[in-house]
A = this chain, B = another copy of it.
């Protein structure tokens, strides 16, 4: 029997090669042209689960992309850990900003550059390799179930149905998700909250066709101008979101809670210099950590209208569009916020245009408990690997399925993320540190061990 450290050391090249292979699949769920790539990824994942020793491996069909399931249930008296992850990735655009192609993973300076490296292929695959170790070395201390989906980046539309229809199969004591980040390898941390999401697309229509801006300009509402005015009005001069009722359900933290949150290591000058910005931006009276952790936000994810090609075209466009997402905090409701947005946007649109608001997807905010067995097991495992107790943090991102699992399965989640905020998730040159990957594989069996021990 090898201990995990030795096993990782002995197998690290293979672990890396397998991840690179997984990263070569272009599994962009948002774009139909990658359908084949997404489906092939599901098959690869199923194969690897089987190779590692999972039973009942199945590529479960859904109305969209399949969910890969596998399990090792060997002792009903032991607790069961359900591992959730996703094998789909974000679109790679803007492709021209990648230093190396997004689906040709490249190792530079100890980091793996590829779309999905950290989000979430590199992270869920740590669980597959940790499971392989536990199987080969008879170190399995909990039952384990895997549920790896292919539609996380498009809102997990079919996961809810799957979960409802598979309550018995998915029965577990805790869910573990590695799809978040830690402060740094020197400052391990554990996320204890995730924001929810409302995502909408707005369409502003002016004239029924594109017009010559010389002939009609100045006399007919330009939907791009009106859209700019509408978007501009969504934040007030203090960068508060100006949608009536938006903050009604927001849980305000106590002064102590805010103080504790702001004790996490954070260097504003380093932050600005990393992003190349002269100044930060955000809601008045809140710190950067608070703005991304405990406050709701509204961001334009995309805006377009009119002529966007080379050179100049004097057109007054017929339509302009924006994709807008709002991050939600406890106790905001995604459905309610989407409705508030929709009503407000219709309300403020002038009568010289028509507007449509199309809800994309949403998810509810969650707070994970820090006094649970699962949290304490994760804390102990991280302390063993990193030699330092992890700092509890509030993540800015959203994993809508955490709330879904809690509601449908009654199971809490522990967010055992090994990424870094600087991993360029959803951006060009996404990366994942090899050390983060290997340390993750090291940590996971310890989590299972401590979880079983503390559950006794």
Residues of chain A at the chain B interface (Cβ within 8 Å): 30-32, 90-91, 93-94, 97, 153-155, 181, 195, 197, 199, 201, 206-222, 224-225, 227-229, 231-235, 275-283, 288, 291-292, 295-297, 299-317, 320-323, 325, 327, 350-354, 360-361, 395-398, 421, 424-429
B425–A215 touching, CB < 8 Å: yes
Contacts of A301 in B (CB 8 A): 213, 224, 306-307, 312-317
Instruction: Tell which of A195, A206, A311, A429 has the most Cβ of chain B within 10 Å.
Output: A311
Contacts of A215 in B (CB 8 A): 181, 292, 395-397, 421, 425
If A31-B309, A220-B277, A303-B305 touch, whether A426 touches B315 (CB-CB below 8 Å) is yes
A323–B313 touching, CB < 8 Å: yes
9 CB contacts below 8 A, A to B, read A91-B307, A93-B309, A213-B327, A216-B396, A218-B291, A224-B300, A224-B301, A231-B232, A301-B317
Contacts of A398 in B (CB 8 A): 214, 314
CB < 8 Å: which of B91, B154, B310 contacts A31?
B310
Contacts of A209 in B (CB 8 A): 97, 275, 424, 427-429
Of all chain B residues, the one with the shortest Cβ separation from A205 is B276
How far in angstroms is the closest Cβ of chain B from A4?
A: 30
How far in angstroms is the closest Cβ of chain B from A92?
A: 10
A218–B297 touching, CB < 8 Å: yes
Contacts of A312 in B (CB 8 A): 30, 154-155, 199, 201, 301, 323, 325, 360-361
If A304-B304, A307-B91, A313-B30 touch, whether A277 touches B352 (CB-CB below 8 Å) is yes
Contacts of A90 in B (CB 8 A): 313
Contacts of A275 in B (CB 8 A): 207-209, 211, 216, 220
Judged by DSSP, the binding face of A is: loop
Contacts of A222 in B (CB 8 A): 281, 299-300
B426–A211 touching, CB < 8 Å: yes
Contacts of A214 in B (CB 8 A): 195, 197, 292, 327, 395-398
How far in angstroms is the closest Cβ of chain B from A449?
A: 31
If A228-B231, A313-B302, A314-B301 touch, whether A219 touches B281 (CB-CB below 8 Å) is yes
How far in angstroms is the closest Cβ of chain B from A264?
A: 14
* Complex CA distance for A197 and B214, rounded to whole angstroms: 9
* Complex CA distance for A214 and B328, rounded to whole angstroms: 10
Of all chain B residues, the one with the shortest Cβ separation from A209 is B427
CB < 8 Å: which of B30, B317, B322 contacts A302?
B317
A316–B299 touching, CB < 8 Å: yes
A299–B225 touching, CB < 8 Å: yes
Contacts of A428 in B (CB 8 A): 209-210
Contacts of A303 in B (CB 8 A): 224, 227-228, 303-306, 308, 320
If A31-B310, A282-B218, A327-B217 touch, whether A206 touches B277 (CB-CB below 8 Å) is yes
Of all chain B residues, the one with the shortest Cβ separation from A326 is B217
Contacts of A314 in B (CB 8 A): 197, 199, 299, 301, 325, 398, 426
Contacts of A322 in B (CB 8 A): 224
B304–A221 touching, CB < 8 Å: no
* Complex CA distance for A30 and B317, rounded to whole angstroms: 18
Instruction: Tell which of A218, A292, A396 has the most Cβ of chain B within 10 Å.
Output: A218
B217–A297 touching, CB < 8 Å: yes
Of all chain B residues, the one with the shortest Cβ separation from A319 is B94
* Complex CA distance for A209 and B227, rounded to whole angstroms: 24
Contacts of A397 in B (CB 8 A): 212, 214-215
Of all chain B residues, the one with the shortest Cβ separation from A194 is B214
A94–B210 touching, CB < 8 Å: yes
Of all chain B residues, the one with the shortest Cβ separation from A201 is B312
Contacts of A93 in B (CB 8 A): 307, 309, 313
